Each structure stands twice: as C-alpha cells, then as structure tokens.
Structure 1
Amino acid sequence: MIIFRYLLKEVAKTQLAVFFVLMTIFISQKFVRVLGDASEGSIPGQLVMTFIALKIPDLAGFILPLSLFLGVLLAYGRIYADSEMTVLHACGVSEWYVVRVTLVLAVITAIVTGIFTLYLAPLASEYQYQVKEELAADSGLSALVSGRFQQTGNQDAVVFIHDKDRETNSFNKVFVAQLPKGEHSGASIINSSLVYARTGRVYEDESGSQQLVLGDGIRYHRDADSGEFQSVAFDKYYIQIKDQEVEHQHRKLSALTTLELYNNDNPELESAYRATIQWRMSFPLICIILIFIAVPLSVVNPRQGKFGKLLPALMLFLGYLLLLTSMRSAIEKNAIPSVIGLWPVHISALFIGIMLLMKERSTGRIIKAKLPSFKLPSFKRKTKAKSSQGKGN
C-alpha cells in the first residue's frame, strides 16, 4: 500500500504540474487573440474574461491526456534515473503492478476528460454562439471605443467619441453621422445629418432599446427642398437605436450536445455526427491506452536521465493524434465507413503498448527465447583444436 500511494502521488503531482503549465501557455495565446478583438471593438472589454473562460473546457479536454502521458514519463523516468525502480523491482514490484497502479489515475483522468469533451465543451461552445448573437443584436453603443469611428448595430449611423468615462458610461466630444436609408452611397453622403456635441450618454430601457442622448451641440443637415445646408444648436438631442432581432448563427458540430448528435435524423450528416461522437469519446480512451505506452517508455538508464525517451514518446503521441484527425476527416467525407470509425487507430495504439510492455516482462522474454534462432557455425574453435593436436604430436 505504501508503494501504491508513493507511485500514485509522484505521477499525480507531475501530471498536475504539467497540466497547469500547458493550460497557462494555451490560455495565454487565446487571451492575446481575444484581447486583440476587444481592442478592435469587436467585443466589449467586460466580456474578455467570459470568452477566455468558454475556451477552458475545450482546452482541458485536450490537455488532460497529454498531461497524464507526460506525467507518467517524467515521474517514472526520475524514479528509474535515481535507481529507485531497480530497488522496487528487487523487492518484487513488477512492471505490470506499476501499470495497474497508473491505470487507477488514468481511469480518474478519463472520467474528468469525458465530462469536459462530452458535456462541458459543447455547452461552452453553444453559449459562446449565444453571446456572439447578443452582441450582433446589440446596437453597439455600450461597446463604443474612444478615438475610433464605429458603426452602430443597425448601420444607420457612424459615431466617433473623443473621450469616454467607463464608470458613468458618458462621452465627451461626440461626432455622429446619421445616414439616410434607401439611397445610393453618393447621395447618402450629401444628405447625411452631421451632429457634434460636447457631451453624450447611453440610456437603456427595460425593453433593451438604447438611446444616445447628446448635449450642448450643433446639428448640420441638408434641406431636401431647397438643397441648402442648415445648422441647429441644441441642448439635448436624442438618437433612438432600435434593437435588431437576434440572428441565429449556423452552429458547428462542436456546439451540438452529444445526445443531439446521437439522436440525429439527417442521413446526409450521419457520418459527420458519428465522427464527432467518436472524436469526443477518443480523449477518455486515450488516457487509458497511453498508459500501456508511457510506462514501458519511461524505463531509462540512469546515465540517460529522466528525459532519455521523452522525444520518441512525444513523436508517438503526435502520430497517434494525427492518425485520429485524418481518420475523422475521412469518415466525415464518407471515405471510410462510420461503422469502422476511429477504432483501428485505438486498437493499433493499444497493440503497440502491449508489445512494449510484454518486452519488459518475463513472459515476453520467455516467448522471445522460444522463438527459433539461426546461428552460423563457429570455425574458430575447430581451428584451435587442430592446432593444439599438432603441437601435441
């Protein structure tokens, strides 16, 4: 029991460290992209962390199997490099016992990974689509950025703000160009109503409609009958922005729940649905299958160090993942029957792991010893025997 807890603790500790490091790297990349969209005004600044949080389930489902694989390699590699595993083997701890101990952690990781890939990731993707639809339906006044020309959500006006107070959501030095509807672009520029105000603020009522209230400004417009331009000073000027109806975006398969994919009734997309289901189920299976590969590959010579077999192990993992990706693409294109699915790749990886594991066990050595071997006859001994007889005579 002490050995069981020791091995489990070392692998779990290393796995968590690798998981948090990889998650930090990937989330940082996503944060830079989302922050770039926020700086361009595509999304409001207060929703930056929301979009980052919605990426976590998808990233966690991918990184958990990789962190387990690297955790086993690094933890057992250190134990082998420090000759601790040699002592454990001398005390009767077999390679298969190490695999069984690691499988306990692999099953736990597989359950957590399945929760992310089969349940949380589709929900997060669907919620992300809903947030984007709400942003598209929004008039955009609450997301205005100072120092940039921006078009409102109904595309009826262009707003430029010199300065913005984020606490009170008020503006200073506001320029608005109201574009008339139903005219050509050249005529729209001439007939546009130009408004300049020193102050401005956004008000939103219970129905969700927003108003831009401008204060202490001048409105310039062209009279339709006389064709002359007129200017009107005002204390308050209201610009009503009507909310657009929410336009539902086309959902990708990643936004559909696993139950919806399973209960599909569209024969044209049946292959794509089955490929997506098997892809989501692959990550929990990877957690268990990779143990049979990682444990034998963690056997290193003390002179090699714990990173001795890290590069070939990573190459195997990447090859495994690339094969799954190519098989999924082939199933979606109906090049491979959906009944076959991704199972050949999983079975091949499991076979490689069992072969690597049997190579280190006594059963594997016995089978190898029973295989027929062919050796060339040795003529060196006969030559020596003849020479010795000659000397005796």
Structure 2
Amino acid sequence: MIIIKYLVRETFKNQCIIFSILLVIFFCQKLLKILGSIVDNEIPIHIIFFLLSLNIPEISQLILPFSLLLGILITFNKLYSENEIIIIYACGLGKKIIVYSILILIFFTTILEIINLDLLSPLSNFYQNKILLNYKLNFDINNFIGGRFQSLKNKNSVLFINNIKNNCFKNVFFAQIKNYKKNFPFIIISKNIKICKKSNNIKFLIFYNGKLYKKSSKFKNFYIIYFKKYIIFLDYKKMNKKNNNIKQMNFYNLWNNSNNNIRILTELNWRITLILSILIMGMLVIPVSLKENNSKKIIHNIILIFLYFIFFIIQSSFYSNGIRNKYNPIIKIWIINIIYFLIILIYNIYGVIFFKKNIKNFKKIN
C-alpha cells in the first residue's frame, strides 16, 4: 500500500540518519582508544583506517536497536506535528497502517542484525585480530620510532632508539626487565643494531659494539661484557590460525560448542538477546507512536529511552561477567528478557485502550 511504503520510507530515512550520527560518535570513542595504542606503540599509524572499518559491525550491534527506536519516535512525532497522521485517520485508515509499517521496519532491522551477528561481526573480529597479531609477531623496522621506549617480547623487554638511519638503529638501549625462559634481567647499550630475518620467519636483533650488564646466576653481583657483535632472538612464532575466539564463531559453531562452556553459552545468549532487543524496542514504541504530540507523549518518549539504556546496561553487565567466567548469567539474561516482554504486553494493552478512546472522541468531534 502507498501509505505503508511512505511511512516505512520516512522512518527508514530517519533511522539511517540517526544510525550515521551514532556511528560517528562511537567511531570517535574507538579512535581515542586506537590513538592511545599508537602512543604506546601497540598499533602502527598506517592501519588505523582498517581497524576503524573493521569495528563497524561490532559497533552496529548496539546501534541498530537504538536507531530503530529513535527513528520511529522522531518520524511519527513529525507526522503528528504536520497533521499527516490525522489525515490518514480521516481517510478511514486505522492504526493498523502504523503498526504494519513499524513491523516491517522491525523485520528488516532484525534481518540486518542477524546477518551482522552471524557473518559480519565474526569476520571483522577475525581480520582485526589477524592484523594486530601479524603486526605484533612479525614487526619490522617501520614499527619503531626514534626517541621513545618501546616494549618487546610480550612486554618482557624494553628497547630505546635514539635515531634511525638507513634501516639501522643508532645509540640503542635494550633491557630485559623480567625473567624470560630462565634468563635473568639484563641491560645492553649498543652503538647500533639491525633486525635480521631467517628463512623460517624467525627474527633476531644484532647488536654491534656495546656493553652487556647481566646478573650472575651463581653470585649476587652483576658482570659487564664488552662485545663487537651480540645476537638476541625475538622468539616470535607464526599466528595460530585455529579459531579459538568465541567472537569469531557464528551461531552454528556457538550452538555446537556450547556444552557446559559458560563463555560460549553467554556469547550465544547475548547475540540472541541483541536480536530480541530489536523486537522489544520496536514493540515498545508502537503505543507511543499512536498518541498525539503532547506533554504526556514527551514523558513516554523519555521513559522508552530510559528503558533502552537500563536494558542494555543490565544485559551488558551479565554478558561481561559471563565472558570472564565469574558466574553463569544465562538465567538472569532471560529473566530480564521476560520482564521486558511483560512490559511490552502491558504497554501495548494500555496503548490500545488509549487509542480507542481517542478514536471515539475524534468521531464525536467530526
């Protein structure tokens, strides 16, 4: 029907605008974290764009339900203020037109969320981890910046480079600050070093013309070694290609591996809850969409937004505790879901009664 298409189009347009605005806000938040990692030399500058792009599916998980909620509220507030809804009622079309248009939006948004949770988010998480691991495990001279302390070997060692010229490090300070494979902490001061690579992808540092300060394994004192050439193997291995990250699993893998595994069960029920949240938020907004613009409707809009934040704050806390294996949150997650479905039932029954009273008053006036 033409009117349903019009309502769906207008609402979807506003939903896309709100989604874009929220995406930019969350992008800025992610960008701050990535910039902090760049300062700590954990992420190189040239992969910022790729990491931000790969974060879109994860960010969209929470944005989609909220964009649907705000899109419907804003659209129907505008239609009421411009008397378009009153014209629809005057033409003899009832509330079914509004309900059908909202249900169509809920259906398509749910499809998008399922595709995102089952396909896009696992793939983006996989490639994001792959980029970061390849950077950390297979770094080269481009990963280092002169004049800064930078960590190596899972933060067991620290390297300081005064300057870099012609792929060589000049005036270098290296310190192993923790015991690593039965080696005591030691310090190396060298005039220059180079990064070399073997055929099996094992990389090592070659120090030239320096001093080694190391604690003796038999005595309590340190000894000093002068050397012309000293080699340290970085001991970095190839990335493990096995899919052990639950965020990289789709629904099928989560379901098949969920036996007595709290983390996988939590991830599976969290994704189901995200899908149900679209239905919950969409059904909650239907009674408010049937009301005319007044002070009471503003209060109802605020209540809906408040219910959205309460829902996701509680569910997110259960999810984080389940992922950390603190306790099994499955029962609590579904208790909240059932409570919200009861709120939907009560809210819609109240909305139908309120709508019938308004229709009777409208007919009397006519």
Partner of 2:55, secondary structure, is helix
Give the conservation status (yes or no) of the 8 Å contact 1:34–1:48.
yes
Q: Which residue does the alignment assign to 2:14?
A: 14
Alpha-carbon distance between aligned partners in 2 of 1:68 and 1:172, rounded to the nearest angstrom: 54
> Where does the alignment leave 5 or more consecutive residues of structure 1 unmatched?
367-393
- In structure 2, relative to structure 1, the CA distance for the partners of 1:103 and 1:164 (3 Å cut) is farther
- In structure 2, relative to structure 1, the CA distance for the partners of 1:99 and 1:135 (3 Å cut) is same
Identify which range, 256-265 or 13-22, moves more after superposition.
Answer: 256-265
Alpha-carbon distance between aligned partners in 1 of 2:225 and 2:317, rounded to the nearest angstrom: 65
Query: Does residue 170 of structure 2 align to residue 173 of structure 1?
Result: yes
Identify which range, 92-101 or 8-17, moves more after superposition.
Answer: 92-101
Q: Which residue does the alignment assign to 2:145?
A: 145
Query: Does residue 241 of structure 2 align to residue 244 of structure 1?
Result: no
Alpha-carbon distance between aligned partners in 1 of 2:356 and 2:118, rounded to the nearest angstrom: 40
Alpha-carbon distance between aligned partners in 1 of 2:7 and 2:181, rounded to the nearest angstrom: 72
Q: Which residue does the alignment assign to 1:345?
A: 339
1:1-393 equivalences under 5 Å are 1-138=1-138, 141-153=141-153, 158-164=158-164, 170-171=167-168, 173-177=170-174, 184-185=184-185, 188-189=186-187, 192=188, 194-197=189-192, 202=195, 204=197, 206-210=199-203, 218-220=209-211, 239=231, 241-246=233-238, 253-264=246-257, 266-267=259-260, 269=261, 272-299=263-290, 301-302=292-293, 309-322=300-313, 324-325=315-316, 333-334=327-328, 337=331, 343-362=337-356
Give the conservation status (yes or no) of the 8 Å contact 1:359–1:365.
no
Alpha-carbon distance between aligned partners in 1 of 2:18 and 2:73, rounded to the nearest angstrom: 11
Give the conservation status (yes or no) of the 8 Å contact 2:137–2:238.
yes
Partner of 1:94, secondary structure, is coil
- In structure 2, relative to structure 1, the CA distance for the partners of 1:69 and 1:158 (3 Å cut) is closer
> Where does the alignment leave 5 or more consecutive residues of structure 2 unmatched?
217-222, 361-366
Aligned length: 346
Alpha-carbon distance between aligned partners in 1 of 2:68 and 2:92, rounded to the nearest angstrom: 26
Give the conservation status (yes or no) of the 8 Å contact 1:140–1:153.
no
Alpha-carbon distance between aligned partners in 1 of 2:225 and 2:206, rounded to the nearest angstrom: 23
Partner of 1:63, secondary structure, is helix
- Partner amino acid for 2:172? F
Give the conservation status (yes or no) of the 8 Å contact 2:287–2:348.
no
- Partner amino acid for 2:190? V
Which structure has the larger Rg over C-alpha atoms? Answer: 1
Q: Per-residue deviation at 1:288?
A: 2.7
Deviations 1:320-376 (A, max 9, x none): 33454467689883476599666513532431342244134439989xxxxxxxxxx
- Partner amino acid for 1:153? K
- In structure 2, relative to structure 1, the CA distance for the partners of 1:328 and 1:35 (3 Å cut) is closer
Alpha-carbon distance between aligned partners in 2 of 1:343 and 1:184, rounded to the nearest angstrom: 54
Alpha-carbon distance between aligned partners in 1 of 2:154 and 2:285, rounded to the nearest angstrom: 57
Give the conservation status (yes or no) of the 8 Å contact 2:18–2:71.
yes
- Partner amino acid for 1:244? Y
- In structure 2, relative to structure 1, the CA distance for the partners of 1:15 and 1:212 (3 Å cut) is same
Alpha-carbon distance between aligned partners in 2 of 1:156 and 1:149, rounded to the nearest angstrom: 13
